[in-house]
Amino acid sequence: MRRRERPPAWGCVPCPRSELRLDLVLRCGQAFRWRERGAGCWRGVLAGRVWTLRQAEERLWFAVRGEEEEEEEEQQEEEEGGGGSRPGPGPGPGASRSVAGTLRSGGEAQRLLRDYFQLRVGLAALYRGWAAADPHFRDVAPAFPGVRVLRQDPVECLFSFLCTSNNHLARITAMIEHLCQAFGRRLCQLDGEPYHAFPTLQALAGADVECRLRELGFGYRARFVSQSAQAVLRQFGPEGLHQLRSMPYPEARRLLCTLPGVGAKVADCVCLMALDKAEAVPVDTHVWQIARRDYGQQLGSGAKSLTRRVHTELGDFFRRLWGPYAGWAQAVLFCADLKQFRQVPSPGVRTRRDQAPSAAALPRCRLSPALEAAPGDSGTLCTEAAPASGAPAVELHSGARRKRACGEKGPFRGQLAAPSPLPPCRRRCRRGAAPGYTSPAPQGVL
């Protein structure tokens, strides 16, 4: 019997736009796996469930498709088909279980969203404090309200930012999606697109990971991903990165910098966005330019490049200026300086204050047999393989005269079903240089 569609249940969390702007937070380079599926409609995977988010002036609306809901619909279908009774205008045989499941998961869904967006932190009060201490922030911030820092899974955050070195946003997004397709657990298929969990440490520490990642076009980053996964398991254990949340910021940062491929900037990104270190200030060439242009900071005794000393001095300067949430303030100015946001920022979709979005916004999500066989298992953040909305269509090293970059190979042709190609590198490697991409420091990666 064909499964009958049931409108999704929408829930909401009180959250004004001054506290959260989805169109800014999900596009500024903190996370790479959310997609805007239509105007103002964002879709991703959190805690093993597919989420659709929409924002009103005072509320954050969400709808969730999870395995519990799918199992309940299967039970309802069996009872309706076996009993031979036609459902009347009132609740059907499975309605009580469905409503109960929705109520049971409603509080948990709200808790997950509050934790992910760190809604316990009052952003408006922080803005006022930063504006009082910093005239430049006071001039910039009114056009960029609601920019807050996400609280991500430490493993996903670490290995995502390992892919950002000498890279640009479109290619980072494609690389992480290919990583999940190759090594992550398949969750479900939605609108013809597969959803995969982020790979586990054990999956990334396999013997063939580096080779497969090089075939996927990761270049020299393939070695860092493989070796860092092995090092985390060896030094910290499967849950070791979560334990860093209870450590002081300098110690957590020092331990992260011992991992292969992890420098000061990547370590600070993980500390800020996954380990609850709000004082961490990720510094790259883009932030260095902001410091020199807008604050007149010529740090590092006239250094020509972003040395570890410059990184430390810039972080200390911003911590003295902005206080214990300095990393959050830096995220606002970083977002304001991105080319895509330099014009008047998009206000997003306006929804009536207390009206839930249309049920048609959430399509069907069919679980894979493997996931149905393990109902208690849950994944981390992931989403479909389709490129971000508005991203240009690109091909990997296309054209007769285009040479393949050093250390780069075509897409993996093993178990993956024709993955979308990675965006090309922007500059060819010079002979003798380290393999990989040498494009300028990207914008849009915090």
- pTM over the 0.75 mark: no
Listed range (241-255, 294-308, 319-333, 335-349) with the worst mean pLDDT: 335-349
pLDDT, the chain, mean: 74
Percent of the chain with pLDDT over 90: 44
Per the domain annotation, does 185 fall within a domain?
A: yes
Per the domain annotation, does 188 fall within a domain?
A: yes
Q: Give tens-digit pLDDT for 408-441.
A: 444 433 344 445 666 665 544 433 333 343 333 3
Per the domain annotation, does 130 fall within a domain?
A: no
Per the domain annotation, does 390 fall within a domain?
A: no
Tokens at residue 5, please?
Answer: 């569609």
Q: Is the pLDDT of residue 319 over 90?
A: yes
- Tell me which residue range forms the domain holding 220: 153-277
Report the C-alpha gap between 46 and 66 in whole angstroms: 10
- What total of structural domains would you count in the chain? 1
Q: Give tens-digit pLDDT for 393-406.
A: 333 333 333 444 44
Element (H, E) at 112: helix 95-116
Inter-residue contact 195 to 382 (CB < 8 Å): yes
Helix axes 123-133, 308-322, angle to 10 degrees: 100
Closest alpha carbon to 117 in 11, 9, 26: 26
* pLDDT score at 420: 62
Maximum mean pLDDT: which of 72-81, 91-100, 154-163? 154-163
* pLDDT score at 302: 64
Per the domain annotation, does 259 fall within a domain?
A: yes
Q: What is the mean pLDDT of residues 159-167?
A: 90
Q: Which CATH number is 261's domain given?
A: 1.10.340.30
Query: Catalytic annotation on 265?
Result: yes
DSSP 132-175: HH-HHHHHHGGGSTT-------HHHHHHHHTT-TT--HHHHHHH
